[in-house]
Chains A and B, each alone.
Chain A
Amino acid sequence: QVQLQESGPGLVKPSGTLSLTCTVSGGSTSPYSWHWMRQPPGKGLESIGYIYYTGTTTYNPSLKSRVTISVDKSKNQLSLKLTSVTAADSAVYYCARVGATGYFFYLDVWGKGTTVTVSS
C-alpha cells in the first residue's frame, strides 16, 4: 500500500525559501503524476501545483512565480520549493498522488501533511 510522508523545516523566516520533501513508500513515483496542496489554519484546501509523469509541471497562477515542483525517481521523492515566503504561506502542506488528471481528476493517496510556519 502506497504511503506518502512529507518532511522539512517547520519554521521558515519571512523572505526565505520553503523546501519540502515527500517520500513515497510501498510504491514508485512512476508512472504517476503528483500534486502539492496546502491548507492555511482554519481554511480550505489550495492547489499549489502538480507534476505529470512526463515531468511537465503546472502551477497555481497565484504562486507560479515562486514555486518549483520536481521528482527524484532514484530516491522515490517529490520536492516542493516556494521562495520569498510570507506569513500568508503558513499552512499545512500535503503531497498527494494523482489518481487521474484532466477530465477524471482526483487525488487518491494523500500524505499526512506537515505544518510550516513563516515567522522571524
Chain B
Amino acid sequence: QSVLTQPPSASGTPGQKVTISCSGSSSNIESNTVSWYQQFPGTAPKLLIYNIDKRPSGVPDRFSGSKSATSASLGISGLQSEDEADYYCATWDDTLNGPVFGGGTKLTVL
C-alpha cells in the first residue's frame, strides 16, 4: 500500500489534455514539494517534474505540475501516443523522515 494515492489508470485521445492526481497528507504533500517520474515498459523511471512544477532540460512544456494542499497533479496537454507510460509521484514525508511514492498511474492513449 503506497503512502501517496494515484488512480491506477488514466486515458485520453491524441491532442487532449489529461490530468493525473496524487493524494497525500499534511505530513507529505502539503509540507513539501512534489516530483513526477515517467516510466516506459522495461525501462528505468525518468524525472519529469520536480519542485512541483519545474521541468528538467529536455522535457516538453506539454508536461506541467501543480499542487494544492494535500494533493498534486500532473498535466499532459496535446497528448501524444509516445506519452503512453506509467507515471509516479513522490515527495518527502516529515513523519517518516523519508521519501514516499505513489503507486503509479498507467496512461493509455486511445
Contacts and interface: CB of A to CB of B under 8 A. Distances in A.
Interface stretch (B16-24, B66-74, B76-84, B85-93): B85-93
Contacts of B45: 45, 94, 107, 110
Given A44-B101, A106-B35, A107-B37, 16 more contacts: A44-B102, A44-B103, A44-B104, A47-B100, A47-B101, A50-B99, A61-B96, A101-B92, A102-B92, A105-B92, A106-B50, A107-B47, A107-B90, A108-B50, A110-B46, A113-B44
Interface residues of A, number: 25
A108 B2 contact: no
B32 A103 contact: yes
Contact of B101 (A45, A101, A110): A45
Q: Which 8 A-B pairs have the closest CB atoms?
A: A106-B35, A106-B50, A105-B92, A44-B104, A110-B44, A44-B103, A103-B32, A45-B101
Interface of A: 35, 44-47, 50, 58, 60-61, 94, 99-113
Given A44-B103, A106-B50, A112 B44 contact: yes
Nearest to B104: A44
Contacts of A103: 31-33, 92
A112 B43 contact: yes
A109 to B, nearest CB: 8
Nearest to A4: B44
Given A44-B104, A45-B104, A99-B50, A105 B99 contact: yes
B27 interface: no
Contact of A106 (B2, B47, B104): B47
A45 B88 contact: yes
A45 B100 CA distance: 10
